[in-house]
Each structure stands twice: as structure tokens, then as C-alpha cells.
Amino acid sequence: MNKRILSLCAISRREAVKKAMMGQFKVSFITGLSEINSAINDFKPDLFIHDWGAQEESQARQFHLKFGQSTAAIDLSRIVLVAEVTPQMLAFASDSMVERFHSYSAIPLTLANEAKMLLDAREGSELQKFLRESKQTSFQYNQQMIDQRIEQLFEKYSHDPKVKMEYANLLLRRGMNQKAMVLAQELLNKDPLNLRANNLLARAQMKMGHFEDALVLLNRANVLSPSNPGRLVMLGDALYGKGDLNAALESYHQAISLDADFSREAGRQIGRIKLVQGQLEDAVSFFKSSVSEEESAGFFNNAAVQSARAQQYGDALKLYESALQTLKTDRLKPTIYYNIALSHLRLNESDPAVKALKRALHYDPFHEKALGLMQKLKGPKAS
């Protein structure tokens, strides 16, 4: 049975692709990237051949970056047709997990053969088989089992760059940063355009607090393959860690402008920076749309505690009030109102402190700390 190929090509190149694949593959063409999901469901292709010049370059970039992270990419190989296969294109291939870039001029000569070799290699890949298994509805997700399988694959196929990359990611998740860095560096030494390895190396550097080194790696990757929203978030994290807050904000906003799906991840970081900068209303706004109320309240509460420890009780009160604005439920309100009462007491403001304690006890009548503090405040008056 012939393998199925889905293709999006400029009209001027459609005939060349069709002729090159004739007799070996069943080919179906679409006219726009918006059609690909329905075409995948209906046609069930094994390979997608995409003409880079069939739409705006920015659209092509964002499509492949996003598609490479989707489960659909597990079953669908990709070949991208370009005028010239440059180092920048090869770097983008790594970024987006596109298997091949192929020049227009070589379509009649080698496209069909390259497609066949790519599909054969994919069929025989143990990693690919495992990824397909994990996509099945019957698959029971178990992180420990997945990690064990990756370890087994690495023991058997440590020479395979994709397997090595997955194992390096596993090491990084486990906090084994130095070992992850060694593998990432091995991959980069073999292929300097392997931007996934480059990014992993940068993540390891950041985990170790080496933000300057991470920035060198990320900026290099950004030159080779620009407009990657995921890497822009990483750049923002490195700049944030370095203390360059305005540059970090710019990087996070760029990521969101390229792909709204990064609004939560980047918005969380923007909120943290706004909090550090004292722009509390902005921080509240970003936290509300990007993190859970527990995490949001936690950011404000931690900042307020630090202010209180520094005896900046007025600042602490503002932060606690901002924390209240982020809450969607009442669960955390008793603790925050109790902390507000403490800050008022440090400022010798007993009436507002009592009012805050009453609010805490309104939401939790059995809050031990609030009850105890209220009893202390009433004690002198009762005597």
C-alpha cells in the first residue's frame, strides 16, 4: 500500500511535486495551513511536504514551531521545500523538529527518494514506536514508567541524537544538571546547529545560576532561528535572573505577541517582575490571567512577608491588599487578613487590626491565630 503524502505548495511547484511522487506515493494537496488539521483527520497522511514560499515566512515559522510540539507530529514526518538549504534553515529544522529541508531545484531528482528514506527510518525508530504507543488512548500515563523506558532506550541507542536528547531532558528534570550539560554539549559538538541541545544547555546553565552563559547560548540561537516564542520566554528568564528586568519584560511580551498560547507562561513572569517593580495593579492583572489564585496570592504574600521583615509595614499592607484582589475563592482570605492585622499592629494601628481580624474570623471562625490575637487585643480592654 502506497504511503500517503499531504502537500501545501505554491501552484507553480505543485506539478513538479506531483510528478516526482508519481507511482510511489498517494498525494493530496491543500491550499492553506488552516486546512491541515482536517486534512490529517480525513486523509491520514504519513508525510507532509510544505513549500516554504506558499505563504508568509512568519506564518510558516510559527506553524512548524507549534506543530513540532503537538501530538500530531508523532505520526507525521515533514519535508520543507526551500529555494536554498542554508545553515539558518537547518537551525530552524532543529528548532521546529522538521526532519528535512529540500531545495526546489532537487525536487525532480531526489525528493521521492528522500521521502522514502525518511519514512523507512521513522518506521524503524524505537523512540518513534514508544512515542506512538504513548499517544494511544489506552496508554496509562505514568511518569516513572516513561522515564524508565527512556533510560532503556538510551542504554541501547546512546548514539541516536534524538534518544540522547530525551535522556538529557530526563537528567535535567531530575536535577542532574552537569550530566545533562555533558550530553547537550556532545550533541552540539557533533551538530552546532542543534538548537534543541543549545536550548537544553542554556536551561541547565540557568538552573545553576549561570545566567550570562545562558544568554550567550540563547542569543546565538535567536540569531540563527528568530521568532521562537518558547526561546523568547527562556531569554526573558535569563534576563530576569541576571536582573535586567526591562529587557526581560520586552522578551516576554514578544513571546506573547508571536503566540498567545504563551500568555500564561510569560504572563506569570511579567506579573512577578511587575511585583518587584512595585506596579501592583499590573501584577494583579497578569497573575489573574496566568496563574492559580494560590500561586498568585503566594507571590504577593511572600513579598509582603519580606517587607514586614524589613519593617516596611506600609508596603506589606499594600501587598496583602493586592493578594486579596487575586483571589477567586475565600479559602486563603483568613490567613491574609490575619497577616494584615499583624502589619497594622506593627504600625500601632489597633482598630484596623481588629477589623482585619474580624474579617479573618468571618471567613474562618476557628482560625486559631486570629482567635488568639483577638483575645490578646481584647484582654487589656476587658481588664
Q: How many domains does the chain have?
A: 2
Domain at 162, CATH number: 1.25.40.10
At 138 the three-state DSSP class reads: coil
179/191 Cα distance (integer angstroms) = 19
pLDDT on residue 2:
80
Name the domain boundary from 123, 138, 155.
Answer: 123
Q: What is the pLDDT of residues 19-65, one digit of tens each?
A: 999 889 999 999 999 999 999 999 999 999 999 999 999 999 999 99
pLDDT on residue 368:
95
pLDDT on residue 88:
97
pLDDT on residue 383:
39
At 100 the three-state DSSP class reads: strand
pLDDT on residue 382:
43
194/196 Cα distance (integer angstroms) = 6
Same domain, 14 and 105: yes
- Residue 230 counted as domain residue: no
Same domain, 79 and 156: no
- Residue 101 counted as domain residue: yes
Same domain, 95 and 175: no
Same domain, 14 and 110: yes
CB atoms within 10 A of CB 1: 4
Same domain, 134 and 31: no
Name the domain boundary from 176, 196, 223.
Answer: 223
Same domain, 10 and 117: yes
Q: Retrieve residue 20's grid coordinates.
A: 516526482
Q: Report the b/e string of 321-342 with b at 16+ CB within 10 A.
A: ebbbbbbeeeebbbbbbbbbbb
Same domain, 155 and 207: yes
Name the domain boundary from 204, 223, 242.
Answer: 223
Strand order across the 3-8 sheet = 25-30, 3-8, 47-51, 77-82, 100-103
pLDDT on residue 217:
98
What is the enclosing helix (H) or strand (E) of 82? strand 77-82
CB atoms within 10 A of CB 168: 26
Same domain, 83 and 190: no
- Residue 279 counted as domain residue: no
Same domain, 17 and 85: yes
At 125 the three-state DSSP class reads: coil
Q: For residue 287, what are the contacts with CB-CB under 8 A and spacing of at least 6?
A: 267, 268, 271, 295, 296, 299, 326
Same domain, 25 and 82: yes
- Residue 293 counted as domain residue: no
Same domain, 94 and 134: no
101/60 Cα distance (integer angstroms) = 13
Amino acid present at 88: Q
- Residue 267 counted as domain residue: no
Same domain, 39 and 50: yes
Q: Retrieve residue 315's grid coordinates.
A: 508596603
Q: What are phi and psi of 49, to 5 degrees?
A: -105, 120
User: pTM of the predicted model, to two decimals?
Assistant: 0.85
- Residue 332 counted as domain residue: no
pLDDT < 50 positions in the chain? 382-383
- Residue 11 counted as domain residue: yes
Contact 133, 139 (CB under 8 A): yes
Range of the domain at 218: 126-223
pLDDT on residue 177:
97
Q: What is the pLDDT of residues 209-266, one digit of tens each?
A: 999 999 999 999 999 999 999 999 999 999 999 999 999 999 999 999 999 999 999 9
Domain at 29, CATH number: 3.40.50.2300
- Residue 378 counted as domain residue: no
pLDDT on residue 138:
55
